[in-house]
Structure 1
Amino acid sequence: MIVDPAALTALTVGLVGLVVSCWSTRSAWSLRRQLTAARHDATHDRLTGLLNRTGLADTWPHLAPARPVVAVLDLDGFKPVNDLRGHAAGDLVLTVIAGRLRHAVTGAVARLGGDEFALILVTAADLHSVRQLATLIAAPIPLTSGEQVTVTASIGLAPSTGDLADALAYADAAMYRAKTTGTGVAVYDATADDRTTPAADPRPTIRTRNLPSIPVEAVA
C-alpha cells in the first residue's frame, strides 16, 4: 500500500489541530471555573456560604432602592458552645443558623465575622416578624455527639438611609443596646443609642451623636 506523503501530512496536521483545539477548549472551561470560584470566594463566607462583607456591599446597590430595613444580629451563648464543645461544634452551630437565616429572610444575609450577621430585609419587617426570626434562631441545634445546644440572638434594626455603612452602624448600635438590656430586639433610636460603644467591646467605636436622626416608624 502506497501512502501519499501529502495526505499523511494533512492528516497529521488535522489531528494535531484537533488535539490543540480540544486542549484549548478544556483550558478555557477550566479557567472559567477557576475565575467563577475565585469570584465566589471573594464575596462569600467559606464556612456558611453566606455573603461576606464584600458580597454584601456588592449586593446593596440592587436592594437599596427598595428602602430595606437593615439588621445586625449577634448570637448569645455561642462562645460557651465553641469553648466547651470545640470549634467543630461551633462551626456546626454557625452553619445551622446561617441556613435558618437564608431560608427565612427575603433580601440578603451576610456573615460579618465570628458570630455576627447582617440582614437586608426587603419585605415588611416589624418587631413581631423579627422576634419570630429570633425564635427560629433559638430552636435547639443537634450536635454530632447527640447533644443539643441552644443559642439566642440580639438583633438591632435600622431603616435604610441609602448608605450601607451608615445603616449598619445604626443597626449595630441598636443591637448593642438589645444585648446589654436583654430585650433581644431593638430599633435604632438616636436618643437611646446616643453613646460611644465601650472600648472593651470588639466592635468599632460608634459615636451615634454625630449621625443624623432617622425615623423608626418603618420598623416600629
Structure 2
Amino acid sequence: MKALKMLLPAAAVLSLAGHVWAAQVTRSQRVRLIEARRSATTDPLTGCANRAGLDRALDDLDGEPYDLVLVDLDRFKPVNDTWGHAAGDRLLVEIARRLRACLDDVDDAVVARIGGDEFVLAAPSSVPLAHYLGAEVITALAAPIEVADGVTVTVTASVGAIHATTGEDRARVMAAADAAAYEAKLRGGDGLVEHNPLSGLPEVEQRPLLRLREMAALTNVLGVTA
C-alpha cells in the first residue's frame, strides 16, 4: 500500500509532463502552420504580398469599392545588367518599402509584388482616389536609391490606376490597370494613366492571356506592323 502511495505522485508528474509536452507540440505545429501560410502568400525578397497574397487581400475587400494601382518599373533590367542581381534586389527592397509607406495609414490595404519589376497597390476606397494614389507612388519613387556602395540610381515607373466599384470582376479590373500602365509606358514612362470608367472594363478570356506589353515586344521581334 505504501509503495502504491509513492507511485501516485510520480504518475501525476508524468501526466503533467505529458500534457505540457503535448501543448508544446501543438503550439509548435500551430506556429509552423502560420509560417507556412505566411510564406505561401508573401514575396520572400521584399516581404510584400505575392499574387496569392494579393488575391487573399482582394477577397477580404470583396463587396467593397477599392482603388488599385499597377506599378511597372521603367528600365529595371539595366540595373541588373550593369551592377548585378544583388543591386537589383537591393533596389526592389527599397522600392517595396516606399510603396508600403504610401499605404501605412490605410486599413486593409495591400502592396504586392506580382512580377520581377511589377507591383500592385490596392486599398479600400468609397470614392475614386486611385489617381492620387498613383501620383503619390510616382513621388515616392523620385528620390535616388543606393544600389551598391557609392552607386545610386533614380527609378521611374509607368503607373496604371483604376477605381473598382462594388461587384466588378477582379480579372477585368487588373486588365484595365495593366492596359493603363502600358499606355503610360508607350508615352515614355515616368507617368500615370488612369482608366476611363466610361470606356468600360476590358474583356478577359478564361485561358491565360499574353500580356499587352509582351504582345507588343513579340510584334517588334517579328517585324509585324499594324
TM range (shorter): 0.7 to 0.9
- The Cα shift of 1:128 comes to 5.0
Provide structure 1 residue ranges, at least 5 long, that are not aligned to the other structure.
203-220
**1:139 corresponds to which residue?**
143
More deviation in 117-126 or 29-38? 117-126
Q: What TM-score do you get using the length of structure 1 for normalisation?
A: 0.80
Aligned length: 198
CA distance in 2, matches of 1:111, 1:14: 53
- The Cα shift of 1:187 comes to 1.7
CA contact (8 A) 1:97 1:137 kept: yes
- The Cα shift of 1:31 comes to 0.5
**2:54 corresponds to which residue?**
56
SS at match of 2:114: strand
Residue by residue over 1:157-195, the C-alpha shift from the partner in whole angstroms, topping out at 9 and shown as x without a partner, is: 12215222111101001111101212511122549x99x
- The Cα shift of 1:77 comes to 2.6
Q: What TM-score do you get using the length of structure 2 for normalisation?
A: 0.78
Q: 1:90 aligns with which of 67, 88, 91?
A: 88
Matches within 5 A, 1:23-42: 23-42=21-40
Residue by residue over 1:109-159, the C-alpha shift from the partner in whole angstroms, topping out at 9 and shown as x without a partner, is: 111021101111334525455223202112111234132122111101122
CA distance in 2, matches of 1:110, 1:126: 16
Matches within 5 A, 1:70-219: 70-105=68-103, 106=106, 107-123=109-125, 124-125=128-129, 127=131, 129-160=133-164, 162-182=168-188, 184-189=191-196, 190=199, 197=212, 198-199=214-215, 201=217
CA distance in 1, matches of 2:39, 2:18: 31
**1:7 corresponds to which residue?**
5
CA distance in 2, matches of 1:178, 1:70: 16
SS at match of 1:46: coil
RMSD value, Cα: 2.5
CA distance in 2, matches of 1:127, 1:50: 22
CA contact (8 A) 1:70 1:121 kept: yes
CA distance in 1, matches of 2:2, 2:153: 79
Letter of the structure 2 residue corresponding to residue 199 of structure 1: M
Provide structure 2 residue ranges, at least 5 long, that are not aligned to the other structure.
204-210, 219-226
SS at match of 1:44: coil
SS at match of 2:160: strand
SS at match of 2:61: helix
Residue by residue over 1:77-116, the C-alpha shift from the partner in whole angstroms, topping out at 9 and shown as x without a partner, is: 3211122212221111111111111111232211102110
Call closer, same or farther: CA 1:126–1:34 in 2, change over 3 Å: closer
